[in-house]
Structure 1
Amino acid sequence: MNSGKTYTFFSSLLCILPHPYDYVMKTDDDVFLRFSNLAGSLLPLSCRDLYYDFVIPCPSMDPFREYMSGMGFVLLWDLVEWIYVSEITADEVIGLEDKLVGKHLKEGGGGVGVEGDE
């Protein structure tokens, strides 16, 4: 789970998808999504630099300060492009995947974190 698969997923999308998408989502394999609710919750949000998730509270830290701790998250395409070219993300890929994504976005000055509704 924490051996670089999230980085591999996001960093390979520009090479394997035929065209850019507005949003890209990474979820755990046991997540059930209500797509209409998800799409509706994304509509009023920023169209740039968005890092979006429903946060599961973490007792050891404030998840809004450092990273989204959840069962998946959405990135806008501009962040996927940034992951593809950034040395920040390529230098550190092993570790807690949710925490690394938040750390990389913070170090790169990106990723306006927004918590979604259930």
Structure 2
Amino acid sequence: MRSRPLSMRSAEGAPELAAGLRDKRAMMEGWKRGLTELLSGAPLRDGLPAEAAALAIMMSVNGTAATWLACPELFSPADQAEALADAVLYGLADRTLAGAELTGPGTRSGEPRGSGSPTSG
């Protein structure tokens, strides 16, 4: 039997995987719709559409899972969950860059979410 390379976008040459790929796509589309709807009422940064925020969350979760599955000794998702979520939701830069204090969800009043530490809050 001749082996064929698989792709995350195609089950060509492996028809037994077609249904799983179709289900995965449907699940991802539903996840994107649900997150976009949820985030449409969130206090997102100016210029950040809810759809882009939803995709950023999805890509971060999928990337975390793929990285951990490929190299579980690299990190513990459970041990770093709060810091990883904070990085996704609030970015990687210091919250006081350029003198503008960034705030957490629902705190547009200027009161900071935390002290700047990824695990505080």
Q: TM-score, normalised by structure 2?
A: 0.29
Higher relative contact order (CA 8 A, sep 6+): 1
Q: Which has the larger radius of gyration?
A: 2
Q: Which has the higher strand share?
A: 1
